[in-house]
């Protein structure tokens, strides 16, 4: 089973509750996620993945829990990441993964229905996050 870290990067203002989400140029709408290395705790992997994929810095990360119901053969670990400001409403970040991709980020409202375009694993992760917070 592969371990996946999913950072829950809440916007600093807190109203409405919003998390960082992005559009991948080849794979559609997504939440940030990354693998957990053998020498990492899930909350460390979450902070690292958040920085690598979005450029957002984490001041502190708190482990929220895990689920094996998000995607087959994986255990997703969720960590609440306290972000460093200031935060922009929308931004782009060049991620080095897979030869480099330009991700377009925005804030996803946790208290609104999930917009169309998210693959089922991200929809399940979104529901897990909503329930946990």
Task: Assign 97 a pLDDT band (cuts: 50, 70, 90).
Answer: confident
CATH number of the domain to which 96 belongs: 3.90.79.10
Give the per-residue SS3 of 99-114: HCEEEEEEEEECCCCC
pLDDT (mean) for 64-90: 96
Q: What does each C-alpha distance from 4 to 12, 13, 40, 46, 116 come to in angstroms?
A: 24, 27, 11, 9, 23
Per the structure, the count of domains in the chain is 1
What pLDDT sits at residue 78? 98
Q: Which of 32, 33, 30, 13 is nearest to 89 (CA)?
A: 13
What pLDDT sits at residue 103? 96
CA distance linking residue 124 with residue 71, whole number of Å:
9
What pLDDT sits at residue 96? 84
Mean pLDDT, the chain, whole residue set = 95
Using CB atoms within 10 Å of the CB of residue 120, give its burial: 0 to 12 exposed, 13 to 18 middle, 19+ buried. Answer: exposed
Instruction: Give the structural domain span for 128.
Output: 2-132
What pLDDT sits at residue 89? 94
pLDDT above 90: residue 14: no
pLDDT (mean) for 64-84: 97
């Amino acid at each position: 089973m592969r371990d996946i870290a999913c950072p829950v990067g809440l916007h600093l203002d807190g109203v409405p509750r919003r998390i960082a989400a992005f559009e991948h140029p080849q794979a559609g709408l997504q939440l940030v996620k990354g693998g957990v290395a053998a020498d990492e705790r899930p909350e460390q992997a979450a902070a690292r993945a958040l920085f690598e994929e979005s450029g957002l810095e984490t001041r502190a990360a708190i482990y929220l829990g895990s689920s094996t119901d998000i995607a087959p053969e994986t255990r997703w670990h969720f960590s609440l990441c306290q972000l460093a400001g200031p935060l922009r409403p929308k931004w782009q970040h060049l991620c080095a993964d897979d030869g480099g991709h330009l991700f377009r980020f925005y804030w996803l409202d946790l208290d609104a229905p999930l917009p169309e375009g998210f693959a089922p694993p991200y929809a399940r992760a979104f529901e897990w996050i909503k329930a946990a917070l």
